Amino acid sequence: GNPPPPGGNPGGGNPGGGNPGGGNPGGPPGGGGNPPQAPPNPQPPAKDPYYRTPMIKINPPDVFDGERSDMQNFINQCNSWFTMYETSFQNDIQRVIFILSYISGKGKTGQWKQNYHRVHTDPTTRRFFPPSLAQFDADFQKAFGAVQEIQKARRQILKLEQDKKDIDDYITEFNNMAGKAQYDRYSPDGNALLITLFEKGLPDHTTRYIIGMRPMPDNID
């Protein structure tokens, strides 16, 4: 027969090279190709620049109803709130208004609250301008301070003795009573007085042991 033309396809396939894997021309490679690559691991989303750690929440102050024995606890609750949410209060006016909002509007507290607003409200503009927080605290203490409770605690601490109590229980009771008596444990005079009162309530053998300590304790803590 006639020899194949130059450049022909001796295998009888389509001229031009075709698909050596046997697939359709222009289609996906046959079994001899590389396997498809797995997609890269997805990257975590970028952190929101405005993300903030959830704020710790505390209970708001209890409404103060004029009970003198609850006054200091009420003030402590307000101070804790100011500390936790410091950025929410720009000045003393806002702090005083916040405290007033938690003072009952009924009975003797309600009357005091009305008078306080009247005294510090401009009759023309109707704007409320309370004094500084320190002055408000002094006014509030004067109106509702537990003077009798303080005097009672100071009488009780004079009589307090360890007796048969565990020493830890005695220390706890002494510290609680010293707080109610409002002795300043951080001033030199207050610290010295508390040391004297604490030692007075101890048994003699414990007092002798303390006196024999070197160096002698010079702080109630």
Tokens of 167: 């020493």
Q: Is the alpha carbon torsion for 184, 187, 189, 195 positive or negative?
A: positive
Q: Which residues contact 172 (CB under 8 A, 6 or more apart)?
A: none
Q: Is the alpha carbon torsion for 23, 29, 33, 34 positive or negative?
A: negative
Q: Which residues contact 113 (CB under 8 A, 6 or more apart)?
A: 100, 103, 104, 105
Domain assignment of residue 195, yes or no: yes
Range of the domain at 123: 70-144
Dist CA 171 CA 208 (whole Å)? 18
Q: Which residues contact 114 (CB under 8 A, 6 or more apart)?
A: 105
Question: Do residues 98 and 151 share a domain?
Answer: no
Question: Do residues 153 and 207 share a domain?
Answer: yes
Dist CA 172 CA 76 (whole Å)? 20
Question: Do residues 119 and 135 share a domain?
Answer: yes
Res 51: pLDDT:
47
Question: Do residues 158 and 121 share a domain?
Answer: no
Structurally, how many domains does the chain consist of?
A: 2
- Domain-ending residue, one of 144, 167, 191: 144
Inter-CA distances, 121 with 44, 114, 144, 202, Å: 56, 10, 22, 55
Helix (H, G, I), strand (E, B) or coil at 103: strand
Res 38: pLDDT:
61
Domain assignment of residue 92, yes or no: yes
Q: Which residues contact 117 (CB under 8 A, 6 or more apart)?
A: 100, 128
Res 165: pLDDT:
87
Question: Do residues 157 and 180 share a domain?
Answer: yes
Question: Do residues 123 and 136 share a domain?
Answer: yes
Res 140: pLDDT:
95
Domain assignment of residue 12, yes or no: no
How many helices and strands in the chain, by DSSP H and E?
8, 0
Domain assignment of residue 44, yes or no: no
pTM to 2 decimals?
Answer: 0.55
Res 41: pLDDT:
64
Chain centre to alpha carbon of residue 45: 30
Q: Is the alpha carbon torsion for 5, 7, 9, 10 positive or negative?
A: positive
Question: Do residues 133 and 183 share a domain?
Answer: no
Question: Do residues 170 and 125 share a domain?
Answer: no
Question: Do residues 109 and 121 share a domain?
Answer: yes
- Domain-ending residue, one of 99, 128, 144: 144
Question: Do residues 100 and 163 share a domain?
Answer: no
- Domain-ending residue, one of 144, 167, 187: 144
What pLDDT tens digit does each residue of the chain (221 aa) get?
555 555 555 554 555 554 555 545 555 555 556 666 666 665 655 555 544 555 688 999 999 999 988 998 999 999 999 999 999 999 999 999 999 999 999 999 999 999 999 999 999 999 999 999 999 999 998 899 877 788 888 999 999 999 888 889 999 999 999 988 888 888 888 888 998 999 899 988 787 777 666 665 666 66
Domain assignment of residue 221, yes or no: no
Question: Do residues 103 and 126 share a domain?
Answer: yes
Q: Strands (DSSP E) along 32-157, which ranges?
A: none
Domain assignment of residue 204, yes or no: yes
Question: Do residues 131 and 167 share a domain?
Answer: no
Dist CA 55 CA 37 (whole Å)? 45
